[in-house]
Amino acid sequence: MAEREVDRSVSQTVKAQLALRDQILSGALRPGERISELQAVETTGASRTPVRMALVRLEEEGLLEAIPSGGFMVKAFSERDISDSIELRGTLEGLAARFAAERGVSARELEPLKECLAAIDELLRQVPISIEAFSSYVALNARFHALLTELSRSPPLIRQIDRASALPFASPSGFVMAQSALPEAQQILIIGQEHHRVVIDAIENREGARAEAVMREHARLAVRNLRLALRNRTHLDLLPALALIKTATD
C-alpha cells in the first residue's frame, strides 16, 4: 500500500480544491461527468473529508453541480451561459468603476493602474505579438481588472466580481484567450486597451456614468469576439477552458 505523502505546507482541503479545479479546467474531467470521491481521493492525495469540503467549495464556485441522488458532476455550460457570464461580469465591473469614480480615487491609487497600462502598451507595440509577450499580456490584463475592482472599495462588490470570474471564460484572461484565437487578435487587444485608458480617465475626472459605460462596452466587445472565435473553433483546441462548454448544441 502506498503510504500517504502528507504535504503540511498547505491544508489538504486547499490542495484538493486546487487539484480538482485543475482537473476540471484542463478537461481531464469532462462536462457532465460524475466526479467520484474515491477517485478524487486517489488523484489528490487527500482523504475523503477534505475532498468533500473541496467539492462543496467547487460547487459553490459554480464549477460543479450537485446530483440530486448524491455526489457531484462537472457542470456543463452552453455558449450563451458563457456570453451571459461575460456580460454579467462587465456589468459588475461597470458598477465598480462607477463606485471608484463617484467615491473618488487619489492619484497615488491610480498609479499601479497606469503602470499596467504602460506595460501593456509596450507589449502591444510588437507586431505580431510573440507568445511570451502574449502571456505577459494576459497576466497584466488580469491585474488591471483586479486593481480596478479594488478601487471600488466595496467588499461585497469585489467578492461578487471574484465569484463571477470563477467561470474561466468570464474572467479577463478568458476574454483574452478567446480573442487570441481570432486573426484580428492584436487589433482587438488594442481596442480593449483603449477602453482601459478611457475608464482611468473617467475615474480621474469623477465621471461615474462614463466609467461604467465603457466597462460594459468592454464586456460587449468580448462577447462579440467570443462568438466570432467560437465560429472558427479550429484555433480553440488550445483553450482548456473551452472544455466546459457542452459539446451538444442546445
Partner DNA sequence: TGTATGCGTTATGTATACAATAGTGGAGAG
Partner DNA sequence: CTCTCCACTATTGTATACATAACGCATACA
How far, in Å, CA of 75 to CA of 241, rounded? 12
Rg (CA), the chain: 20
By CB under 7 A, the residues from 26 to 45 that bind DNA are 34-38
DSSP 97-150: HHHHHHH---HHHHHHHHHHHHHHHHHHTSSSPPHHHHHHHHHHHHHHHHHHHH
By CB under 7 A, the residues from 63 to 102 that bind DNA are 69-71
Nearer to a second copy by Cβ, of 185 and 244: the residue is 244
Q: Which does 47 bind (CB under 5 to 8 A by kind): DNA, a second copy, none?
A: DNA
The percent helix, strand, coil of the chain (3-state, each to 5) is 70, 5, 25
> From the list 18, 26, 33, 48, which residue makes contact with DNA (rule: CB under 7 A)?
48
The Cα diameter of the chain in Å comes to 66
Least distance from DNA to the Cβ atom of residue 7, Å: 9
Q: Which residues bind a second copy (CB under 8 A)?
A: 49, 52-53, 56-57, 60-62, 77, 80-81, 84-85, 87-88, 91-92, 95, 99, 154-157, 159-160, 163-164, 167, 170
Q: Which does 147 bind (CB under 5 to 8 A by kind): a second copy, DNA, none?
A: none
DSSP 8-state class, residue 73:
E
Nearer to a second copy by Cβ, of 81 and 109: the residue is 81
29 in Cβ contact with 74 (< 8 Å): yes
Number of residues that bind DNA (CB under 7 A): 20
Q: Which does 167 bind (CB under 5 to 8 A by kind): a second copy, DNA, none?
A: a second copy
Least distance from DNA to the Cβ atom of residue 54, Å: 9
How far, in Å, CA of 130 to CA of 143, rounded? 20
**CA 162 to chain centroid:** 8
Q: Which does 81 bind (CB under 5 to 8 A by kind): a second copy, DNA, none?
A: a second copy
Question: What Å distances lie between residue 170 and 8, 50, 69, 80, CA to CA?
Answer: 33, 27, 30, 12
* Binding of DNA by 52 (CB under 7 A): yes
Q: Which does 87 bind (CB under 5 to 8 A by kind): DNA, a second copy, none?
A: a second copy
Where does this chain touch DNA (CB under 7 A) — which range of 5-13, 99-107, 223-231, 238-246?
Answer: 5-13
Least distance from a second copy to the Cβ atom of residue 229, Å: 19
How far, in Å, CA of 94 to CA of 218, rounded? 9
Phi-psi region of 131 (alpha: psi -120 to 50; beta: other; left: phi over 0): alpha
Q: Which does 38 bind (CB under 5 to 8 A by kind): DNA, a second copy, none?
A: DNA
Question: What Å distances lie between residue 87 and 1, 104, 189, CA to CA?
Answer: 50, 25, 18
Least distance from a second copy to the Cβ atom of residue 246, Å: 12
- Interface residues with DNA (CB under 7 A) are 4, 6, 8, 11-13, 34-38, 46-50, 52, 69-71
